[in-house]
Amino acid sequence: MSKITFLGAGSTVFAKNVLGDCLLTPALQGFEIALFDIDHERLQDSANMLNNIKKTGGSTSTVKAYTDRKEALRGAKYVVNAIQVGGYDPCTITDFEIPKKYGLRQTIADTVGIGGIFRNLRTIPVMLDFAADIREVCPDALFLNYTNPMAVLTNVMNTYGGVRTVGLCHSVQVCIPELFKSLGMEKEGVKAKIAGINHMAWLLEVTKDGVDLYPEIKKRAAEKQKEKHPDMVRFEMMLKFGHYITESSEHNAEYHPYFIKRNYPELVDRFNIPLDEYPRRCIEQISRWKQMREDLVNDTNLKHERSHEYASYIFEAIETDIPYKIGGNVMNTGLITNLPREACVEVPCLVDRNGVTPTYVGDLPPQLAALNRTNINTQLLTIEAAITGKREHIYHAAMLDPHTAAELSMDDIVAMCDDLIEAHGKWLPEYH
């Protein structure tokens, strides 16, 4: 029996999408769906929910919850990762509140920036533990990483974990639908080319019947910027740098030095930037969980419709050899020629029986590659810190982060990092 293992299965809503999709996919019938989470109550919730979907959907797969991670992984053909180390309390709170004391504000803090750096530092050791288990009990498995910070964790698993890893994010497949809906344009028949790095990939080309749609997109975007709306940062970046970005405005506000500035507080209002957005979402999600649990876990008639998540389509393409195209995060083996080879990039990939094959992109427009490199610098120094255990590389990563460097002096950045290391305590390994 082939096996799909889901690490972080207590993420019940996300497990419903990814594994519910697998239960409904004809090519994946007869599989074992193996669930693992350190929260045993949430683990059982997800098992109950998936068994409800299995029953209503008529799936022939089996759902099994494991409390032993290595046994959950043993013999797996595919592994899906969706963990969050440290959760909202205490770690996300720490990532926001300590920088705030230094005057550094954030919106999401899960990719780069000071929050992204520390989320990486507490997650990388756990991921490398996963990698050790995978090398032992399922060395040929394909590892699909959904956990942020996407670029760094996918890079670490490939470079230091010895595990065949592809990172997956929602932002590529929703880019065109959301942009065109926002601008009142029809998306049917549109062709697009997207590449860059995770959360900062670029809509390089967008055409319909051979006609370039960018002039119309920019015209409508410029008009829309005259009034407040939720996507003002991305529209501003497109109008200034020439291309639209895949990930949301609240994310991109903190990837660049232009938008969240103590000396220009009016920018936050002008570009409609939701500071502290991620903690707000966490609090809302926690408060909604009681009702969601009733709806998802205890509904024996629960039905599911296949979502837009890539995982089941990847597995299906490998099992059937019917090709499928995704936007995947992979190592830059010369794929984007003006970004560093040691970086993880997000490019179109073809999936079939051979697995996930990335496609060649070539040079990005120089201004876009330059913006990507500002974030890659922090990503690579964060990896250096995690692998060497040297505290100085944490400082380097933070000092090279565009938003952090635009707001704080080097001395304040070092002091803030020290405070964050102390506050994280046992969530981080020792740094020397």
CA atoms within 13 A on the CB side of 227: 3
369 CB contacts (<8 Å, ≥6 apart)?
336, 338, 339, 363
Is the preceding peptide bond at 149 cis, omega within 30 degrees of 0? yes
How do beta strands 62-66 and 78-81 pair?
unpaired
Do 93 and 86 form a contact (C-beta atoms < 8 A)?
no
For residue 160, what is the DSSP state?
T
DSSP sequence for 235-275: HHHHHHHSS-BSS-HHHHTTTSSSS--TT-THHHHHTT--T
Q: Is 148 annotated as a binding residue?
A: yes
Which of the residues 40, 170, 229, 393 is marked catalytic?
A: 170
Sole residue written with tokens 């008529």: 58
178 CB contacts (<8 Å, ≥6 apart)?
none
Q: Is 169 annotated as a binding residue?
A: yes
Of 102, 106, 145, the closest CA to residue 127 belongs to 145
CA dihedral sign, ordered 175, 177, 180, 185: positive
Please indicate whether residue 170 is annotated as part of the active site.
yes
Q: Is 145 annotated as a binding residue?
A: no
Q: How far apart are the first and last CA of the chain?
A: 46
- In 55-161, beta strands by DSSP E: 62-66, 78-81, 142-145
Task: Mark the binding-site residues for substrate, compressed into ranges.
Answer: 148
* Residues annotated catalytic, as ranges: 170
Task: Mark the binding-site residues for Mn(2+), compressed into ranges.
Answer: 169, 199
Task: Mark the binding-site residues, compressed into ranges.
Answer: 148, 169, 199
